[in-house]
Chain A
Amino acid sequence: MVLNPDVTVRSRGVMEKCTLCIQKTQKVILDAKRDGRKVKDKDWQTACSDACSDGAMVFGDVNDKESEISKVREGDRTYRVLESLGTKPNVIYQTKIRNNINI
C-alpha cells in the first residue's frame, strides 16, 4: 500500500486503513509537476468528499492559505476529537450551527 497506493494487496472483503486517497494526491502532484504548474485548490478530492454532494465533507491543502479547507479550519466551529491528547489529527470536525456563540 505504501509503495504503490494505486493497487490494494488485500483480498476482497478486507478493509484497508484510510489513506485520504493518497493515490489521487500523488497523481495530481505528479501531473502538475510534469506540466510545470502549481497545484491549486479543488484540483482533486478524496473519494468521500467527492461523493458528498452537500459539502459536509471538505478536502484540500492546508498549506494553501487561500483554500476552502484553510478557511473552514480557521472557523470557530472547528474542533478535533479528543483534542486534549495532543495527537494533532488531520481530520477535523465542525459543531452544528447555533445561534449562541457560547457553545
Chain B
Amino acid sequence: MSSHYEAPIRKPLVEGDKSYHDITVDIARPIETPPNKDWWIAFSIALIAFLWGVGCIIYTIGTGIGSWGLNKTVGWAWDITNFVWWVGIAHAGTLISAVLLLFRQKWRMGINRSAEAMTIFAVIQAGLFPIIHMGRPWLAYWMFPLPNQFGSLWVNFNSPLLWDIFAISTYLTVSLVFWWTGLLPDFAMIRDRAVKPFQKKIYSLVSFGWTGRAKDWQRFEEVSLVLAGLATPLVLSVHSIVSMDFATSIIPGWHTTIFPPYFVAGAIFSGFAMVQTLLIIMRKVSRLESYITLQHIELMNIIIMITGSIVGCAYITELFIAWYSGVEYEQYAFLNRATGPYWWAYFFMMTCNVVSPQIMWFKKLRTSIIVSFIISIVVNIGMWFERFVIIVTSLHRDFLPSSWTMFSPTFIDIGIFIGSIGFFLLLFLLYARSFPVIAQAEVKSILKSSGENYKKSRDSDE
C-alpha cells in the first residue's frame, strides 16, 4: 500500500523473529486449540452476570420500569448513563480502524480488529438500554419512520432522540461492514487451515469465498478506503448527536454548546481505555505480545492522556461559562454538581478523568503494563461517573424546588448494568476464540518493513 521502508529509529511493530508462517500460527492458535481453564472461568462468570441481567430485564418488562429507581424528577438515570457509557466506549473502534487508516498509522494493525469487535459489542449493549426504557419494547419499531396504517403514528423529526436512532444504527452498520471486510482474508486463512469439516464449512461461509486473487486484494483495498472515508465523519457525528439528547433540552447543566465536542473527546477517551483493558489481558492470555507491543500500549496511553486533558478542559470551561453566563440556574447547577449531595460522584469523575491520565506524561509510567491496566479501569469508572453526574445531578435539582429529590438505584438497575457488562464480556470471550483477533493479513503487509528481525538485518547491512 505504501512504502516498504521504515526508518531505523522507529521501533518495530512486530517483535521477535517472526516469519509469515509464524504470524499465521500465532493468530490461528486461539481458534485451533481448546480453551484453557482460565477462559472457562471467565466465561462462566460472564455467563452468570449475563443471565442475571436477562432476569432483571425480564422482570423490568414484566413489571414496568417502575421497578427502577426513577421518579418524577429524575426520569433518566442509570439506564441512560449506561447507554451513553457504552456508546462512548464504542467510539475507539472506528477511530482506530478508520481515522488511523486514513492517517496511515501502521500501529493500528495490531489492535484494529479487537477494537472494532469491542465497538460492535459495545453498541449492542448501548442499544439495549433505550429499548428497555421504552417500557413496551415490542413496539420498538415505532422509532423508525415506517409508513403505517395507524393514523397518527409518525416519528418526530425535531427530536434528537430520533437522530440518535439514525446515528447509532448507521454507526453499527458501517462498523460491522468495515469489520467484516477486514475479516475476509483472515477468515479465509483459518478456512484453509481448518481440518474439521464443520469448521471448514463455517469459515467458508463467513469468508464469502475469498480466494486471494490480485483482484480480491485490489477490491479489498478500495472498499477499505471508501469505508474508512464513510466511517470517519461517523466518529464525530454519533456522539455529537448523543450529546444533543441533552444539549437541545433546557435543563441547566445540559443546555450547553460545548456538549458535542466534549462528548466526542470523552467517548474516544473511554473507548481507548476499554481497548486498553481488553488488549492488555488478551495479549497475555493469547500470547500476542509480539503483535500488541509495549509501543502500542504506550501510543494508546498518549491518546488517553490527550483526550483526558480535552475532557478536563471541557469540565473547567463548563464551570467558567456557568459563572460567566450570569444565569442563576446555570450557576446553581454547577455549584450543586461540585458541592451538592452528589459531590462524591463529581469528585470521582474529576479524579478519574482529569487527574489520573496526567500520570501518562511520565515515560516510565506509560510504558508500564500494570499502570496502564489500572488507569484504563479507573478511566472507565470515571467516564461512567461523568455520565451519571451529567444526567442525575442536572435533573435532581430542577426549576421547581418542590420537586427536588434524590435518586437511588434499585436491585434491578444494578442487575441490568452488570448484565450488560456480562453480555459484553461474553461476546468478547467468544470472539477471542473464534475470530482471528489480529488483522494478520495487514500485519503481514508490514512485516518486512517493520518486523524486528527484518529491521535488524537491514540495519546491519547498511
Residues on A lying within 8 angstroms of B by beta carbon are 2-3, 14, 81-82, 85-87
Q: Which residues of B contact A87 (CB under 8 A)?
A: 250
Cα-based distance from A81 to B400 in the complex (angstroms): 10
Majority SS at the chain B contact face:
loop
Query: B152, A85: Cβ atoms under 8 Å?
Result: no
Q: Is the CB of B64 within 8 A of A82?
A: no
Chain A interface, >50% SS class: loop
Quick check: is B153 within 8 A (CB to CB) of the other chain? yes
**A2 to B155 alpha-carbon distance, docked (Å):** 12
Q: Are B64 and A3 touching (Cβ within 8 A)?
A: no
Residue-wise, chain B 389-424 has the 8 Å CB interface mask toward A (1 for contact) of 000000000011000000000000000000000000
Contact between B152 and A2 (Cβ–Cβ < 8 Å)? yes
Task: Indicate if the CB atoms of B399 and A3 lie closer than 8 Å.
Answer: no
Q: A14-B64, A87-B250 are in contact. Are A82 and B150 (CB under 8 A)?
A: no
- Assess the A3–B150 pair: CB atoms within 8 A: yes
Q: Which residues of A contact B250 (CB under 8 A)?
A: 85-87
Residues of A within 8 A of B400 (CB): 81-82
For A86, the closest partner residue in chain B by CB is B250
Q: How far is the CA of A23 from the CA of B250 in the complex (A)?
A: 30
Identify 14 residue pairs between A and B in the complex whose beta-carbon atoms are under 8 Å apart, listed by A's number: A2-B152, A2-B153, A3-B150, A3-B151, A3-B152, A3-B153, A14-B64, A81-B400, A82-B399, A82-B400, A85-B250, A85-B399, A86-B250, A87-B250
* Chain A minimum-CB-distance residue to B64: A14
A81 to B398, CA, bound (A): 13
Which 9 residue pairs of A and B lie closest in terms of their CB atoms, listed nearest first?
Answer: A3-B150, A82-B399, A85-B250, A2-B152, A3-B153, A3-B151, A3-B152, A2-B153, A87-B250
Could you tell me which residues of chain B, from 139 to 185, have a CB within 8 Å of some CB in chain A?
A: 150-153
Within residues 248 to 275 of chain B, which ones have a CB less than 8 A from any CB in chain A?
A: 250
Interface positions of B from 11 to 67, Cβ below 8 Å from A: 64
Additional 12 contacts, C-beta under 8 A, given A2-B153, A86-B250? A2-B152, A3-B150, A3-B151, A3-B152, A3-B153, A14-B64, A81-B400, A82-B399, A82-B400, A85-B250, A85-B399, A87-B250
Name the residue on B nearest A2 (C-beta): B152
Query: In the bound complex, how far is the Cα of B249 from the Cα of A86, in angstroms?
Result: 12
Nearest chain B CB to A72's CB is how many angstroms away?
24
Residue of A nearest to B151 (CB): A3
Q: Which residues of A contact B152 (CB under 8 A)?
A: 2-3
CA A82 to CA B398, docked complex, whole Å: 11
A44 to B151, CA, bound (A): 23
Residues of A within 8 A of B153 (CB): 2-3
Q: Which residue of B lies closest to A14 (CB)?
A: B64
Bound Cα distance from A3 to B151, whole angstroms:
7
Would you give the shortest CB distance from B53 to chain A, in whole angstroms?
A: 25
- State in angstroms the CA–CA spacing of A40 and B399 once bound together: 37
List chain A residues, Cβ under 8 A from B150.
Answer: 3
